[in-house]
């Protein structure tokens, strides 16, 4: 499985393949490691990586990321799949936090749900439109609170990637 691990402002490409039960091949930014992993509890792992032992404690944070304790150091780690990472980047690049923000389709697809109306006030993180792409539904969310303007999304229409479906002002 291919993921993106976000630690601070840095993104790391991560690919995990189960070789045998509890034995994994991990590739992080092109560097390969063999890992023996044992779950001790829902929030604790014992890892053997290149003959070094690590006990990992995790704590789920409200934003969906995890605080991870490794050898006395705590770091916040967010692990997402490639599609989620692409959606986040499309929403972040759509506009500034203070000005109007375009809600843009990250890839071609079909609008399957319009969750707002023209002129409606929305909250940060509120769902705006659901676009189906490659048999997956992607909910596009508002990156900040504001008012919906310029809504062109309609149920059932096909959309190209990079199309602005509405603006949050």
pTM of the predicted structure, to 2 decimals: 0.52
Give CATH for domain 2-81: 3.30.700.30
Q: Mean pLDDT throughout 30-46?
A: 93
- Condensed to tens digits (0 to 9), the pLDDT of residues 111-159 reads 999 999 999 999 988 999 999 887 788 889 898 899 999 999 999 999 9
Q: Mean pLDDT throughout 47-54?
A: 90
**How far apart, in whole angstroms, are the C-alpha atoms of residue 91 and residue 93?**
6
- The least confident of 19-28, 93-102, 109-118 is 93-102
Q: Which of 79, 53, 82 is nearest to 67 (CA)?
A: 79
Give CATH for domain 93-168: 2.40.50.100
Enter the DSSP assignment of 37: E
Q: Mean pLDDT throughout 63-92?
A: 81
pLDDT at 157: 94
3-state secondary structure of 132: strand
Domain limits, the chain: 2-81, 93-168
């Amino acid at each position: 499985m291919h993921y993106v691990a976000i630690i601070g402002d840095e993104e790391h490409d991560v690919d995990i393949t189960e070789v045998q039960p509890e034995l994994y091949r991990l590739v992080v930014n092109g560097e390969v490691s063999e890992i023996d992993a044992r779950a001790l509890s829902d929030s604790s792992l014992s890892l053997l990586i290149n003959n070094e032992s690590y006990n990992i404690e995790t704590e789920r944070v409200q934003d969906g990321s995890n605080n991870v304790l490794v050898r006395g150091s705590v770091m916040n780690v967010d692990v997402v799949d490639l599609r989620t990472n692409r959606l986040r980047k499309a929403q972040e690049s759509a506009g500034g936090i203070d000005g109007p923000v375009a809600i843009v389709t990250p890839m071609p697809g079909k609008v399957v749900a319009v969750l707002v109306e023209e002129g409606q006030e929305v909250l940060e993180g509120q769902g705006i439109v659901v676009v189906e792409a490659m048999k997956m539904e992607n909910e596009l969310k508002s990156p900040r609170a504001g008012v919906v303007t310029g809504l062109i999304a309609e149920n059932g229409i096909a959309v190209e990637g990079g199309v602005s479906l509405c603006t949050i002002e």
